[in-house]
Structure 1
């Protein structure tokens, strides 16, 4: 008896219908209902192609919510993170604590240690 087990168990998703997960199925039905409703309401006033183009911006976020996944986050979680980092994130500023005097002092200390190392190596020779 051979039982096939998915190599990456963490990414295993149980399909409900037509190879779709429950989340994907729900959001695909919702996107078809919303898109179809918009097209049916608007095709009387504008032609069918224009009403389909009007429905796309309403249907796209719904469909992406069901199917899109990035680093384990859903589409809505990712968009919340992007909005947070775009508008609520405080900018980071670096303020140097080293002035010109400190840099000169550090350079002098390095030169003094180099001279000590040279004098020690000269004594050994």
Structure 2
């Protein structure tokens, strides 16, 4: 005799009817009953289509409360959290502890360091630029050689394929 056990025991759901859990079954029955009552009561006055449109916003939260879950929360729990965060949570405001004079000093120090770096790299930059140009020219020549070689290989492959076709 063997007993099958789900690997994830947290997600195990015991079905009551037609593969639905008790919560899903109750939500389904309630949504069908409430939707049917709304449609039957309003059908004669506004028509079938509009009465269905009236019933959908009422029935949808009931059905979602039985079937929908997000991060282990039911639909109602999630909506309560969303409403709480939308209206009750105050926005966070940053207030700087530095004053203007300290920020000006920091800016002056950064400018001084930048000028020192520019002075020390002036001689090096000319050499760096010429090395960059040489490297670019070498890469350009290499790419041209590769392009010519690959074109020759493709033409040769086409010639071989055509030659084999006529044999």
Q: Same fold (TM over 0.5)?
A: yes
Pairing 1:1-125 to 2, within 5 Å after superposition: 1-103=1-103, 104=105
Tell me how far 1:100 sits from its aligned partner. Answer: 3.9
Tell me how far 1:4 sits from its aligned partner. Answer: 1.9
Q: How does the TM-score come out when normalised to structure 2?
A: 0.60
Q: For 1:54, what is the secondary structure of its paired residue?
A: helix
Structure 1: runs of 5+ lacking an equivalent: 112-125
Q: For 1:52, what is the secondary structure of its paired residue?
A: helix
RMSD across aligned positions (CA): 1.9
Equivalent-residue separation in structure 1 for 2:43 and 2:64 (angstroms): 25
In the alignment of these two chains, the number of paired residues is 109
Question: RCO greater where, 1 or 2, for CA within 8 Å and sep 6 or more?
Answer: 1
Equivalent-residue separation in structure 1 for 2:78 and 2:97 (angstroms): 37
> Which aligned segments of 4 or more residues in structure 1 are displaced greater than 6 angstroms?
none
